[in-house]
Structure formats: structure tokens, C-alpha cells
Amino acid sequence: MILEKIVEKYDNALLDQISADKIDEAISLRLPQSVIIQEIVSALSSQSYISGKLLYAKPPTFAIVNLVLQSNGFAIEAADFQQKVLQYVRELSRTASQNSKRPDHNPQLYIKILRKAYENDGLIDKNEAQILELVKSELGIWDREHFVYMHDESILDLWNIENEYYTARNRLLATGILLTHEDKYLIAEEVAPQIRKVFGIEIMDDAYRRLLTRLVRKNWR
């Protein structure tokens, strides 16, 4: 669904919530609803905005967003969604454990650094993000690998993921990255490509798995 068509159906309270980090409050009080909607659409169509909200957001943010992103029409039933997210987190944790043994770079070092960055308050500030970007570059960590490694058991153990589900979901709803329509969670059509770029998944999950398997086999020979 098109973002503008979705948010047009939102009441003023929800629009105010979504626009809170996109428009100065004093300015938004004087803007007509149509202009506020356009500002929301503009922000959510920006890769830099999406990256700032997702790149270092702690689990299970990636699981929530990627489940919706990989669903037909970028929409998924709200019923039992939490259970699907928690199952996906467990799958990602197993993948992180397997991939951390790859010999072509040092994922275990990256996981230790990432865990240290999360330890204090679960947030990664701008300075920490800059350091992590340098570490990723030096170790040859892909963005897609980063989102897997953040589900290493040593990192997940920092929080109660069942409780964090609600925090992450509500934060995503507040930004508009995740939307609701009828009985579904969804991602707007214009927003999906920006998320894919941030996640490093211009290709879909199945194709990525096949590619990664070939690369791992090649490096292990």
C-alpha cells in the first residue's frame, strides 16, 4: 500500500505521534494535515532517516521489520505476530552461532565489540556507531551480516526479548516505519526499498541464503 493512502486514514493523534521526530512541534501546530502527511512521507522515503532508526536498533527490531518486509504485499497478520518474531529471533541466533565460525573474517571480535556497545543502556550513540562502522569495514562485515550477528546469544542475553518485543514494536509504530491497517502490520511500498538498502538485502532471504552458502563453501575450500 502507498504510504500516503495509509496515513490519510490515521486520526490526528496518530499523525502527531508519527510526525513528532520529523517536524518541530511548534511548526506542526500551524501546519494543515495534508502538509504534515507530506512531511511524514518525505522522511519515511529517506534512506538516511530509516538507517538512523534501524541500523543499530537492538533486537528484536530487525526481526519485526524483516518478517513484514518478507511477507506478501509487505503485510502480515497481527494475530500471533509476537510468536513469529520470537521464533525468527531464535532462528537468527542459530545462524549467528553458525556464521561466527567463518574463517574469512573475525565475526567473534565484532560480536564482542557490538555487545560492549549495547551493555550500558541498550542504545548505540553516534560516536559508538561511527566506531562500529569502522570495525565493520576493517573486518569485512556486510550490513546483512551485522543484523545476523546482533542476534548472537551473548547479545540477546542482555535483555528479556519477550518484553523488548513490545518496546521495539511500539517504537516502530511511532516512527511510521511499521504501520497498521485493519488487522495487519505493514510497511508502505515506498519505505520497503529504503529498508532493504539499510539491511543490505536488495535480494530476498532465500536468494541471500543461497549466495551466502556458496561464498562460505568457496572460502572454506
Terminal-residue alpha carbon distance, the chain:
45
The pTM (predicted TM-score) of the whole model is: 0.86
Give the span between the Cα atoms of 167 and 82, in whole angstroms: 12
Model pLDDT, residue 206: 53
Continuous H helices in the chain: 3-7, 12-19, 25-28, 33-44, 47-54, 61-69, 81-99, 107-119, 126-139, 143-149, 153-156, 161-175, 191-199, 205-220
Q: Which CA distances in Å does 208 have to 130, 197, 200?
A: 26, 14, 10
Question: Are 216 and 100 a contacting pair, CB within 8 Å?
Answer: no
Question: Are 19 and 40 a contacting pair, CB within 8 Å?
Answer: yes
List the chain residues with pLDDT less than 50.
Answer: 205, 208, 215-216, 218-221
Model pLDDT, residue 45: 92
Model pLDDT, residue 50: 96
Model pLDDT, residue 24: 74
Model pLDDT, residue 219: 47
Model pLDDT, residue 213: 56
Model pLDDT, residue 220: 45
Residue-wise pLDDT for 126-180, tens only, equals 999 999 999 999 999 999 999 999 999 999 999 999 999 999 999 999 999 999 9
Residue 179, classed as helix, strand or coil, is strand
Residue 185, classed as helix, strand or coil, is strand
Cell numbers given for 134: 569502522
Question: Are 18 and 86 a contacting pair, CB within 8 Å?
Answer: no
Model pLDDT, residue 193: 94
